[in-house]
């Protein structure tokens, strides 16, 4: 595998310049100034073991693989409200005003372009900073024109696009999504099966720009756009950033399965008051999120392999919009488990988390890893990035791996593979048989 070195400026393009995007960008600028640390970022703080344990080689990942450094990241994106990033960060109230003020100048300078928006797909939102066009193909071309202008103005060499926009209404893959030819025909005919997130994804992939989907939207997870990604040698990943309650599930559920402890029921409910919560207050958007969250336990627990333990598991998910919470989400889990001889036990979790704080380092890592993947000649679905998503993309014939620890092993072995290092199986017998 030939790996190209980073070269020039990497333009980070974000559809949906809201709480997650502003928290991420303000955070990067604060880290560049040395006033904050990149807590939660695998690329910046995680280590990777190389060779045998006895060799004691465990560099930080950013020192092991050639990633773009922070000084060469340039930000820009689209939104449906005409605000600069400084105003957006203040309005969302995730970060302290003092920190936001310390990076005011770069935040005000970053470009926020008119967004592609259709209220049919996100019923709870309104905006007046919105593109108009003759059809959806025209809108896609406008996005591509935006990118060309942005790259020229900022001396950008390469790009990565990460969707940080809202959850759209639930869509199933249909005929218009089945091939690139049908999809492009659908763009010209304004097919209702093509949502705004797909228009951004198409524009990115048409230009050979890696794309990650941070929401549960269908977005790039359709045959047509997988075809385009392969055709243009472009990496794609998604979907739905793994934050909050699902993060807890992918930590806890693998442990229960590993110990062969049964589960009778898992009830999850959330309260949150940010724009994401408002959007999810619409049943059609909630359906999209629900599908993403419900799939996790089945995949981790594999009830078809362990019917006595998980076949009759009752799993319920609720999300409640509660404005006073703002970005401070609270997730409650009640888990009814059983152990030896079927005797019952309970686990209760109350996770008071901050959605955008958990999502920001994910955005950073995905940007750096997708750019790395492209420089390594990797294209299409990047399953090794499943670690970051609630509903990871896979080939149609594969079930997604949701076990956080398997995902982590896959990610690190992929990095070893890219760099020509020996893959680690953790077998360990060689220490005792030499």
pTM, whole model, 2 decimals? Answer: 0.95
Q: For residue 356, which of 14, 19, 18 has the smallest C-alpha distance?
A: 19
CB count, 10 Å around CB of 305? Answer: 9
pLDDT tens sequence across 333-347: 999 999 999 999 999
Across residues 224-238, what is the average pLDDT? 98
Q: Using an 8 Å Cβ cutoff, are 262 and 339 in contact?
A: yes
- pLDDT averaged over the chain? 95
Query: Residue 7, class by beta-carbon neighbours within 10 Å (0-12 exposed, 13-18 middle, 19+ buried)?
Result: exposed
The answer, yes or no, to whether residue 292 has pLDDT greater than 70, is no
Q: What are the chain's domains? A: 9-241+357-418 (3.40.50.720), 245-353 (3.30.360.10)
The answer to whether 372 touches 66, Cβ cutoff 8 Å, is: yes
pLDDT tens profile 83-140: 999 999 999 999 999 999 999 999 999 989 999 999 999 998 999 999 999 999 999 9
Q: What is the pLDDT of residues 13-46, one digit of tens each?
A: 999 999 999 999 999 999 999 999 999 999 999 9
């Amino acid at each position: 595998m030939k790996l190209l070195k980073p070269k020039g400026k990497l333009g980070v393009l974000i559809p949906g310049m809201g709480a997650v995007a502003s928290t991420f960008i303000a955070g990067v600028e604060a880290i560049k100034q040395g006033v904050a640390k990149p807590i939660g970022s695998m690329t910046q703080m995680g280590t990777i073991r190389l060779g045998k344990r006895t060799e004691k080689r465990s560099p930080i990942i950013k020192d092991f693989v050639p990633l773009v450094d922070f000084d060469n990241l340039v930000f820009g994106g689209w939104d449906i409200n005409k605000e600069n990033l400084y105003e957006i960060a203040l309005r969302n109230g995730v970060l302290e005003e003092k920190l936001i003020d310390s990076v005011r100048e770069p935040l005000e300078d970053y470009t926020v372009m008119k967004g592609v928006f259709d209220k049919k797909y996100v019923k709870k939102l309104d905006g007046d900073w919105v593109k108009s066009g003759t059809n959806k193909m025209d809108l896609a071309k406008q996005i591509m024109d935006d990118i060309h202008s942005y790259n020229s103005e900022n001396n950008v060499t390469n790009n990565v696009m990460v969707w940080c926009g809202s959850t759209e209404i639930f869509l199933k893959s249909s005929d218009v999504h089945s091939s690139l030819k049908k999809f492009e025909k659908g763009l010209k005919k304004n097919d209702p099966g093509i949502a705004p997130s797909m228009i951004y994804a198409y524009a990115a992939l048409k230009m050979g720009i890696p794309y990650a989907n941070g929401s549960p939207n269908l977005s790039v997870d359709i045959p047509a756009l997988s075809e385009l990604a392969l055709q243009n040698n472009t990496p794609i990943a998604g979907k739905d950033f793994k934050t909050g309650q699902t993060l807890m599930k992918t930590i806890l559920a693998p442990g229960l399965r590993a110990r062969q402890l049964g589960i009778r029921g898992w009830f999850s409910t959330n309260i949150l008051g940010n724009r994401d919560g408002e959007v999810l207050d619409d049943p059609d958007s909630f359906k999209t999120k629900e599908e993403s969250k419900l799939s996790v336990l089945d995949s981790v627990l594999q009830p078809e392999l362990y019917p006595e333990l998980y076949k009759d598991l009752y799993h319920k998910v609720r999300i409640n919009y509660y404005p006073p919470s703002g970005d401070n989400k609270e997730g409650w889990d009640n888990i009814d488990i059983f152990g030896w001889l079927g005797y019952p036990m309970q686990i209760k979790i109350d996770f008071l988390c901050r959605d955008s704080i958990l999502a920001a380092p994910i955005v950073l890592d995905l940007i750096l890893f997708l750019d790395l993947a492209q420089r390594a000649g990797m294209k299409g679905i990047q399953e090794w990035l499943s670690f970051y998503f609630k509903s990871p993309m896979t080939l149609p014939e594969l079930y997604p791996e949701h076990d956080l620890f398997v995902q982590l092993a896959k990610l690190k072995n992929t990095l070893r593979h890219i760099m020509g290092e020996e893959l680690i199986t953790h077998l360990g017998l060689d220490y005792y048989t030499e």
